[in-house]
Structure 1
């Protein structure tokens, strides 16, 4: 691969470098960890870059057999456009999210989307009303907010009051209302109980719990499900030094649990899917940032960069991913100081790490944040202070596939004629 220092000099900083070979490797590892019959949805919110999305849709060889690429899970018509522009099929898309408007639903249906995750009876009725108006029927997966869970660690996504999903204990009483919404069919269930599982046993236990609950709800609702999305939770280091895990026991454990609870699953009764974002793209990305200045204040050191939370992570600004790991690129210098890593914005919240170990740095150096391929540019405070978006450089081996930058523009067409 072209050296990061060379890329930083050529395209400037801050800049992201995405390695498509790493994306392909993550996809191979995830496919290998799952039974061959299980579909994989790529959560486009993790990284909607066109080259990344296109790579997700590419079929791969495994054990002499050809396995199709990832399907797309989206939450907006903007993401739908990115998916279609990358050449993926709208009929293979899952549209999710708690705030779908009638206009968004209509556009998605008009462009060929037929599978929706629904969060509530009201959400289902919105989709049905638009479907009736357009003369189409949408397959809907009832997203489930389970009353209980298996894993006690990781980031919990169920078991609490939430805008996401039907409370599992309420579904049986809603059966007649759910199955009677014109313009829709209840095709199955959608789960997403946790994110970034702490370890493989926790991940397996959560999937086993989900599969058992899905079978129970099928019996209680009296509906033969055609599709069950059992969610994700696959882990990956995020903005810190580390390796993405490889799951060796998951494949057999999933197959055993599905054989027990859904004996026809291997023949598509129901079709089973998982979903992933971070696992598939995190380790493909490196954020290169330039050191602008060094400063000491009342006994503390600060390294000031040309990119902060405007370049990496509105989530970082919320304290979700502090602290990051940083190393100088291609120098191998040891860690020599504790300092806070801060960006260029006029806010004390522009901090990527407080009192973290850093190498000896000087203005003009380039440092790198590893495992930054997910929740980067589009999860950042791009518009704040009007600073340019970071460059995004896509490589495959030694080749630079593309280099681009998101531009901020204002469209006055909305008010034309006032």
Structure 2
């Protein structure tokens, strides 16, 4: 569910009308709902009730500090994948003991930053990374708590670009090598093994891949404990999908996911960490855009918007679907027609949808891309010297711009032209 509903024929974000926001900040822009963020986080907490747990928001889905701070105030931890995300989390008030550091390419400087600033654990992904972390930790006179990410060779049955648990993916160590790597970890100074980490992909729409991966992790837990390792924490990753296309079958609910976790690993006496991102933030945000032109083509018509692939890259990168709806609710029974919905960037890939059925629209009309709160603003760019678009946060009838649109002068003045040019 989300809190973007038509009221009196106008799409609203909680108690605020979308045209009101558009009048203030201009289009395009992102708007997020606090009520939706809260509800989706609480669904995961309720699903894991009865076992020791920490729900860490995967910041790569949406790293705006206002979003982070809102979730942190609810008790969420954060899953970060870079030094920059770590510093964003700390700036938003997240304590180090609630930050988990993932990612395959952590640098020594990033390790140093997290160790000195405080960290719950590093999810280590390779032997060379573990050696480097040992050296950094011992140089600081500190101990680095770690889990080791294992690759269970499980097909997540998701898009190939967001699958992470197959043997050919770059993530983690092969699960068959885990006992040897854990033995290595136990021998290194400055390293404390606290658990196991696994994450098999994103936008999963069925539970069976999770079951297969978690059963392998359970078996490994028992083996490692028998070999003397103190496995007291399981980081089970994230990846539960959301219904981008509302006419399709909905993915499993957090309650079903939580029940699976309890069934498979609930008897191990471990603390469970999960790292949802998309399901917490995805339906908590929409992208709002204006129609610039309605163009008649050869055999098809185009809606040319002021939003572009640099603002929302998912359709161009993944062929992803987003429901696109008019901000003014169409009259019942209005005849729809097919449009190619495109942006102004000089790329044929700047296409959001082809032959999408829409009610007739005119220049200046507003449309909203649903389920755009995850992997939207965070993946945006200034391609074609198009400014990053504003982000807006709504709570009840309160509205705040949480990232302003930069001016062209601000963008251009970042460049420096050497005097010898």
Match of 1:3 in 2: 17
Asked whether 1:189 is paired with 2:196, we answer yes
Q: Which residues of structure 2 form unaligned runs of 5+?
A: 1-14
d(CA) in 2 for partners of 1:286, 1:175: 44
Asked whether 1:176 is paired with 2:164, we answer no
d(CA) in 1 for partners of 2:342, 2:154: 40
Trace 1:374-393 onto structure 2 (pairs within 5 A): 374-380=374-380, 382-393=381-392
d(CA) in 2 for partners of 1:101, 1:173: 24
d(CA) in 2 for partners of 1:383, 1:221: 52
Trace 1:6-405 onto structure 2 (pairs within 5 A): 6-36=20-50, 37-59=52-74, 69-148=75-154, 156-199=163-206, 201-202=207-208, 205-206=211-212, 208-219=214-225, 221-238=227-244, 246-260=253-267, 262=268, 265=269, 270-313=270-313, 315-321=314-320, 323-333=321-331, 334=334, 336-380=336-380, 382-405=381-404
DSSP 3-state at the match of 1:198 = coil
DSSP 3-state at the match of 2:304 = strand
- TM norm structure 1: 0.87
d(CA) in 1 for partners of 2:258, 2:70: 23
- Compute the displacement of 1:240 (Å): 6.0
- Compute the displacement of 1:10 (Å): 1.8
For residues 339-389 of structure 1, give each alpha carbon's deviation from its aligned partner in whole angstroms, at most 9, with x where no partner exists. Answer: 111111111111111221222111100000111111111212x12111111
Q: Does structure 2 retain, via aligned residues, the 8 Å contact 1:144–1:190?
A: yes
Change (3 A) 1:241 1:21: farther
DSSP 3-state at the match of 1:55 = helix
Q: Which moved more, 1:181-190 or 1:300-309?
A: 181-190
Aligned length: 394
Change (3 A) 1:285 1:162: same
RMSD after superposition: 2.6
d(CA) in 2 for partners of 1:212, 1:114: 22
- TM norm structure 2: 0.86
d(CA) in 2 for partners of 1:369, 1:146: 35
Q: Does structure 2 retain, via aligned residues, the 8 Å contact 1:207–1:254?
A: no
Q: Does structure 2 retain, via aligned residues, the 8 Å contact 1:147–1:169?
A: no
Q: Does structure 2 retain, via aligned residues, the 8 Å contact 1:188–1:227?
A: yes
Q: Does structure 2 retain, via aligned residues, the 8 Å contact 1:335–1:357?
A: no
Q: Which moved more, 1:212-221 or 1:98-107?
A: 212-221
Change (3 A) 1:125 1:240: farther
Q: Which residues of structure 1 form unaligned runs of 5+?
A: 60-68
Q: Does structure 2 retain, via aligned residues, the 8 Å contact 1:240–1:370?
A: no
